[in-house]
Amino acid sequence: MRRLGAHAQALAPSLDDADLVVFLQRPELAWDAGKVVAGLRGEGITAADVDALIAALRERVRSGDHVVFMSNGGFDGAPRRFLAALQR
């Protein structure tokens, strides 16, 4: 449903407890993640591709942080790639 934007208006309030949210803003998405970012309480950014998403997370994540990936697709292996980036 996130791909179609059916719940886009409910996303920002559902993420109130997050310190940082990074949205993958793919061109094929039918909704604007920037509008959701504008409604967040914590920091929010959009990334144009998975490489940019991983780079943004690497810059901001500190020891002890919890990172949650949510996707209704393969996400181009982002969780695995992020873990590998942290281990380097």
pTM of the model: 0.80
Closest CA to 30 of 7, 54, 10, 46: 7
Boundaries of every domain in the chain: 8-87
Q: What CATH architecture does domain 8-87 belong to? A: Alpha-Beta Complex (3.90)
Contacting residues for 70 by C-beta, under 8 A, at least 6 apart: 2
13-61 residue pLDDT tens = 888 899 999 988 887 777 788 888 888 888 999 999 999 999 999 999 9
